[in-house]
Amino acid sequence: MLEGLGALEYEAQPPVLSPAQTLLCSFERYLLAERALAPGTVRGYVDHARKFLGGLPSGRTVAEVTAADVTAALGRVAAVVSVAAAQNFRAGLRAFLRFCFTEQIVDADLSGAALAVTGRRRVDLPRGIEPAQADALLSSCDRRTALGRRDHAMLVVLLRLGLRAGEVARLRLDDLDWRAGELVVRGKGARLDRLPMPVEVGEAITAYLRRGRPATDRREVFLRARAPFQPIASGTVGSTVRRVCCRAGIAEVGPHRLRHTLACEMVAAGVPLVQIGQVLRHDSLQSTGIYARVDLDTLRQLAAPWPGGAR
C-alpha cells in the first residue's frame, strides 16, 4: 500500500537459493513430472535427499560424492530409525542418486551403493471390520441432515469400492459417469482407473448431491460442511470415520481398515486374487497377495501333516 502511494521505494527481490536448494527444487520437479509420484511421496523423497546432503562432509559437493558417503549415510539413518523408515530413506536416496546421474551431476550411478535394508518387522494379518460393525457405521449417520448424508456417502464409497482416503477427497463431479454406471478414481501418481458404480454407492452420492452438498462452483464431490465450502482433505476422511466409530459405539478404525474390509469380504466370497487386485488397483499382484493369508480354510489345505501323526 505504501509503495502504491509513492511513500516507499521498494523493489521485491527474488529469493537467492543455494546450490543445494536449487538441486532439490530440480529433483522435486523431476519426481512430479517424470516419475509422476504422489505429492506426499515427493515431499518425503526430497526430505531424504536434503538429509543426505546435510550429512556430507563440510565442503564436499554433490559431484564429489562417493559410494562410501552413500553407504555411511544409510548406516547412520538405519541405526536410529525403524526398518520401515530406513527402507523409505533408501528409496528416496536411490531416486536422488539416479536423478543426479541422469542429469550428469555425478559421473557414476551411485544408487547401487544404497544397500538393501533388512530386519525383522512385525507382520500383521490384514483386518477388516465385521459386517454388523459396518452396518452400525452406516446406520449411525443421520441422513436427515446434510452432514449425515455426506458422512453416509463417504462411508459407502469406502466400504463398497475400497477407495483410499485421498482418492475419496479427490473425487470430482466429472468423475461420475451416470449413464455408464462408472466412476473414475484418481489414484496414486496421477493414475486414473474406472470402477463400476454399485447402486448403493450411486444412491448415497445422489442423496448427498441433491440434499446435502452446499451450492458452490467447486467440482469436488465432497466439501466441508461449514463455510468456507472448500474441498475436504484426506485427513478429513480419516477423522470422519473415527468420529462415526465413536458414534456407533465400536472401536476406532481408520479409512484403510474399511478398504481391508472390502478385500476380506471378496476373499471370503472366493473372488480370485487377480480380480481383487483390479478392484483395489494394485500395481503388483504381490501387494494383493497379503490377503491370501486371511483365507485360513484354503491355507489349511496347504499345511503339511504334523510329524508323527495328529497333534
Q: Assess whether 164 carries a catalytic annotation.
A: yes
- Residue matched to cell numbers 531416486: 95
Q: Assess whether 45 carries a catalytic annotation.
A: no
Q: Which of 98, 186, 188, 247 is catalytic?
A: 188
Q: Which of 94, 259, 260, 281 is catalytic?
A: 259
Which among 93, 34, 37, 36 has a CA at the least distance from the CA of 65?
A: 93
Helix residue ranges per DSSP H, the chain:
19-33, 39-54, 67-78, 83-102, 131-139, 146-161, 165-170, 199-211, 234-248, 255-268, 273-280, 285-288, 296-302
Q: Assess whether 48 carries a catalytic annotation.
A: no
CA 52, CA 165: separation in Å to the nearest integer?
Answer: 31
Q: Assess whether 30 carries a catalytic annotation.
A: no
The string of DSSP codes covering 156-201 is HHHHHH---HHHHHH-BGGGEETTTTEEEEE-GGG-EEEEE--HHH
Q: Which of 48, 90, 150, 164 is catalytic?
A: 164
Pull the grid cell for residue 29. Answer: 520437479
CA 90, CA 52: separation in Å to the nearest integer?
Answer: 10
Stated length of the chain: 311
Q: Assess whether 10 carries a catalytic annotation.
A: no
CA 129, CA 127: separation in Å to the nearest integer?
Answer: 7
Per the CB < 8 A criterion, the answer to whether 225 and 147 are in contact is: yes
The sheet with strand 182-186 has its strands ordered as 176-177, 182-186, 192-196
Q: Assess whether 291 carries a catalytic annotation.
A: yes
The catalytic residue positions are 164, 188, 256, 259, 282, 291
